[in-house]
Structure 1
């Protein structure tokens, strides 16, 4: 009998019509503005600990920890550390792998969602990945209007 892996990764890319620096700055420094960009998906974000745009800061959304940031590489790692997502998953991490320029002022944000399920009966978090895609699309629209 083969053993089911509890670990997984889901990747997604979202095109922005704004420069890579602007996209990364929004995600890393203006995280608090996410509800302005996509209020139908994320209603509020509060700073629980630390400073906006700094490693180690903790946000109240589902309690996410900014685990790592690299402004030069436009890399950021957010780890879920509380909330109802952890009722089904041992760990969930959203990683902004890179934001690359595409020319004409556009850019591509490449994300990876890493997760570990609590048991083999828990489904892969496809709906959560889709919410990540929709959040990025809403932010892309918001930034292109700014």
Structure 2
């Protein structure tokens, strides 16, 4: 049985794809305002917001517990509204050797579809697949959408 895994989820939102992408790319520090019960803080540790190679720190709540993580921005594709983030520090790495998230927003009708992809390597067979983290991402996406589409 492989320690490597991949989970994906789609979230339909009302906000334009480029607006959603812009939040993760250039304004991740605003997510704590948009989804305060899930994200407590987001801070830039290295580089510049919206630039590949920058490092972003997160304080978040997962499964009812306060957690931390640092992600390096590996790739930004403004044409396809996607960003790839590699986890380099934090609580998740207590169970996973590697953890990469890709977030892509694609226009659809009057809104868009946000596609989340988690690619990871578990430290051992007893580690669960990160379904609850994916649920957190889906719920956070809905919170961001609500914030972006409120009058």
Q: TM-score range by the shorter chain?
A: over 0.9
The unaligned stretches of length 5 or more in structure 1 are none
| Larger Rg, first or second structure (1 or 2) | 1
From 124, 138, 142, the equivalent of 2:147 is 142
- Aligned to 2:109, which of 87, 103, 108? 103
Across the aligned residues of Structure 1 and Structure 2, the Cα RMSD in angstroms comes to 1.1
2:129 to 118, 124, 137: 124
CA contact (8 A) 2:80 2:106 kept: no
Unpaired runs of 5+ residues, structure 2, are 59-68
Q: Which runs of 4+ in 1 moved over 4 A?
A: none
TM-score by length of 1: 0.92
SS at match of 1:5: coil
**CA shift digits 1:32-87 (9 cap, x unpaired):** 11101101001001111011111111011100111101101212101110011101
Aligned length: 141
In terms of fraction of residues, the more strand-rich structure is 2
Following superposition, the deviation at residue 123 of structure 1 comes to 0.8
